[in-house]
Structure 1
Amino acid sequence: MTTLIAGAAQAGQTTGSSMDRADSMAAHGSSMNRESDSMAPSTGTNRIAATAVVGTVTGQALLRRLQRGGLILWIRHGARDDRPGDVSDAQAAAHNCAEQSRLTAQGKAQARAVGAGMRELNLPIAAVHAARLCRTRATARLLNVGPVKTDASLDEASTWHDRGGDAAYQQAVFKLLSTTPPKGKDILDVTSKLTVPNPRPPVLAALGPAEVAVFAPNPGGQPQLLARIGRKAWRQLAQKVGQ
């Protein structure tokens, strides 16, 4: 279902699974959260500043690519609480949020802010796909950029123990990133950090809370990472419109 996004702006990083516990530190104002806005930019395996836009395509060129469509926007959920991040396949299917880690108030604000920026840029998002976890579904809803459909292929690594393990998970990720969006449209995938050995693409293991990785799909080949957009960078991108 195609949704053309237009609208307003509202207000709103660290590392998933057991590594995702850094989200809770960020949510409580830890030093890890404070340093996130001053880290050196990287398009690879390092964290980036929350205000940064880095990659092979940035500035007006990135805006044109985003608004022209044909891209996959891969976003990690917002900051979560300090309950264990691992979820079984059965728990994910049951949508029992009492047994899962959930977004903090900060994580909710992050999702709202990113969604406001996307709407301000009129991104032509054709579909919003979310992992079945409570924190990913909540992030997708709070982005408010289109109807949300859950997709078990986006679930984090712990849900894959009885579904083929890490190899099957990596194959599912590759397939998602190789999916060609409808002509002139983008696809938004909402998920967790990729917590498997030797993650591919490596950037998916480095995304901070509510950070977006922008890919150009390449069916039959490797998806191309174009840019990483920090959670606080969307307002800056919107300011470039018309410049």
Structure 2
Amino acid sequence: MSTLVRRRLLVAALAAMLIAGFIPASQAAGLDTVDPKGLIVLMRHAEAPGVGDPPNFELRDCATQRNLDATGREQARRTGALLRRIAGRAVTVHSSQWCRCLETARLLDVGPVQELPALNSFFERREEQEAQIVALRRFLAGLPPDRPPVVLVTHQVVVTALTGVFPASGEAVLLRTNGTGEPAIEGRVKADGSR
């Protein structure tokens, strides 16, 4: 078994353990019960079977990447419906440049999608993690607390590096702007909209 395959299996095993019990359901918050002002919805892309990207991966060629399946597309639509209930279409959406994130962001159908490279995956480029998280924290620090919600569609590694939370596919971590690069965590919302 190659080193890459072993590493991917280890990551998958760790994900299963962490997802099972990181934050009790009693501490999670649903999108429909929170104040939309200053809300940041930090979302892992919806279900895209597999781990990482194929060896021939190219950023601008979706055929070379892991992509959403039917479950992932439905997850994104359900989350979009929740977002529209609390904020209408006054939502700003930023996405990683990976196809699975861009498709998730578009299927939310809450506003135009803007690419934000600070949300890109560094799963197989860990040397880029520190600079990228610094850039993302700078972006977050610039968000005013009274603004409409911001949705950030990204990857597990980015969510975990920023918050310590290991989200499932399609899961969102709810953050609150506070003028710093470390917004407060308010809860989590699973891909099915449950708390």
- Short-chain TM bin: 0.7 to 0.9
TM-score by length of 1: 0.63
Equivalent residues of 1:130, 1:137 under 8 A apart: yes
Decide which structure has greater helix share: 2
Q: Do residues 166 (structure 1) and 139 (structure 2) align?
A: no
Listed as ranges, the gaps of 5+ residues in structure 1 are: 1-16, 23-31, 44-51, 237-243
Deviation per CA, 1:59-107: give whole Å up to 9, x if none.
69x72412xx11211001011133643789x932xx1011111111111
Return the alpha-carbon distance in structure 2 between the equivalents of residues 160 and 97 of structure 1.
19
Equivalent residues of 2:104, 2:153 under 8 A apart: yes
Partner of 1:6: none
Q: Do residues 120 (structure 1) and 112 (structure 2) align?
A: no
Q: Do residues 91 (structure 1) and 58 (structure 2) align?
A: yes
Return the alpha-carbon distance in structure 1 between the equivalents of residues 181 and 53 of structure 2.
32
Q: Which amino acid aligns with 1:191?
A: T
Listed as ranges, the gaps of 5+ residues in structure 2 are: 1-6
Q: How many residues align structurally?
A: 184
Return the alpha-carbon distance in structure 2 between the equivalents of residues 101 and 139 of structure 1.
13
Q: Which amino acid aligns with 1:142?
A: L
Percent of aligned pairs with the same residue? 26
Q: Do residues 216 (structure 1) and 176 (structure 2) align?
A: yes
Assess, with a 3 A threshold, how the Cα gap between structure 1 residues 225 and 54 changes in structure 2: closer, same or farther. Answer: same
TM-score by length of 2: 0.76
Q: 1:1-243 residue pairs with structure 2 within 5 A?
A: 18=8, 39-40=20-21, 42=23, 52=25, 54-55=27-28, 58=29, 63-66=33-36, 69-82=37-50, 84-85=52-53, 91-92=58-59, 95-123=60-88, 125-158=90-123, 165-181=128-144, 183-194=146-157, 199-203=161-165, 206-220=166-180, 222-233=182-193
- Superposed structure 1 runs of 4+ greater than 6 Å apart: none
* Secondary structure at the counterpart of residue 46 of structure 2: coil
Return the alpha-carbon distance in structure 2 between the equivalents of residues 169 and 186 of structure 1.
22
Assess, with a 3 A threshold, how the Cα gap between structure 1 residues 149 and 200 changes in structure 2: closer, same or farther. Answer: closer
After TM superposition, give the deviation of residue 152 of structure 1 in Å. Answer: 1.0
Deviation per CA, 1:196-234: give whole Å up to 9, x if none.
9x834211xx01111111111232463211111111126
Assess, with a 3 A threshold, how the Cα gap between structure 1 residues 146 and 19 changes in structure 2: closer, same or farther. Answer: farther
After TM superposition, give the deviation of residue 177 of structure 1 in Å. Answer: 3.1
